[in-house]
Amino acid sequence: MKKYLIFTIVIFLVITGVYSLGAFVFNAKIIRAFSEHTVVKTNTTTEVQKVSITLPPVHIKSLPDIKNDLLATKQSFIVANLSTKEVQLYQDGQLSNTLPIFLLGDPQSWGGSAAGVYKILSGNEASFSGIAEAYMPYGMNYYGKYYFHGLPFFEGGEKRITDETGGCIQLSDENSKTLYEFALIGMPVLVIDKENQPYAWPDKKSLTDPDVSAQSYLVADLDSGFELVQKNAKEVLPIASITKLMTALVVTENIDLRRSITITQHMIDTYGETPQLRIGDNLRVVELLYPLLLPSSNDAAEALSGFLGPQKTIQLMNEKSTHILMNNTIFFNPHGLDNKENPEKNNMSTAQDLFSLARYIVNNRSPILEVTNGKTVRSFGGIGFDIPTLGSRNIFTGDPSFIGGKVGFTLAARYTGVFLFKFQTPDKKIHRIAIIALKSEHLEPDARKILQWVQENYQLSPVAQ
């Protein structure tokens, strides 16, 4: 009797298990169909109907979203909105004061303020700026060479009057003092470069996404954060020389761009050759960006890391990733070469994180993208290279709508690329679009196929720079 009872229970479990598995498979099909904007629905008969479903638009998290996170935790924090030119002070999650920003830097000429999520690092009633050679009243450092401060003055007391800052956020002396008295060391600071621009993107025309070799890709709007199409955009993969965009970013934000460095044997011993770099040459920061970002020189990456020291540079690259919401990114070197002895120490990121990097650079350090496109930028003393003879690995150089970008290749990463374009929508709105592809076997065909797919599906027209 006991054996019969056990046998009956086993049979029951098997039958219900099969039924549950079948239900799971069926539900999985429904979920998959739902993600493709179509759900399969069965009515009281055996007839199957297809019902069109409109999914909510997917927007990639950006800096304005962080403000809501801070409010939800009822923290005391500071928000500097560079678009509205105001600083907001929040006490325990409640707005306590709003202060107008008096002066900002120009992001089109290296002077943009550093946007992102930071904290107050230090403060002094009169902080000295070695770059401006002046004192900053009520100076509060929040990142690198970037401060909140009042109207700068020279040692004799004479005010330093300018049309723009070098990237710091300048308030009136009175408001700067108010901020100084409110702030505490370690207090969160959110610097918002641009608010997301609301835009009602239409549904894509094709239900078939681009068929490419890339293991991961993402196409998204840099202005609204809207995701146009993606495949495995959150998968962590090696990124190869896309790394050099972060190297350029960190060095230009932490070094006086007038400084130069002497090329050493160690710098040019890195894998690959850069004939334009010779031992004993003295080159400035901006000069080195050209071999770094056009022919993708690993020697130039080593040289640029020499300003701060390789380990400090890598530390800052990882910290910057956190500041600009690249939470699934890690760097181990400034160039992106494979670590053959320890593959776990390759530079890694996701297409979504690289979108955040691209959005940050286009809004705050756009000269970096101009360099990737072979254009001449402010260099604080001229450029010692004949730019056209450097060559360029960027496959869209010459395309009038191409803003800039970077490609890479290693055995582990295969081919990788970040490409930014400017387009016009059918209703005459201008949008900047990023295409990111990782682990591609055929990068140029993949990138061109994705670009064509996006233009056709959303009826986008190229806009010349």
Q: Give the catalytic positions in this structure.
A: 241, 244, 296
Q: How many CB atoms lie within 10 A of CB 427?
A: 9
Starting at the earlier edge strand, list the strands of the sheet with 116-119. 94-100, 86-91, 77-81, 188-192, 116-119
Amino acid at 294: L
Question: What are 226's two structure tokens?
Answer: 């809207």
CB contact set of 262 (below 8 Å; sequence gap of 6+): 280, 281, 282
Q: Could you write out the DSSP letters of every residue in 345-368? A: GS-EE-HHHHHHHHHHHHHH-HHH
99 exposed, middle or buried (CB, 10 Å; 0-12, 13-18, 19+)?
buried
- At 323, give phi and psi (nearest 5°): -60, -30
CA dist 236 and 6 (Å) reads 48
For residue 100, the tally of other CB atoms under 10 A from its CB is 11
Distance CA 337, CA 344 (A): 12
The answer to whether the CB of 439 falls within 8 A of the CB of 411 is no
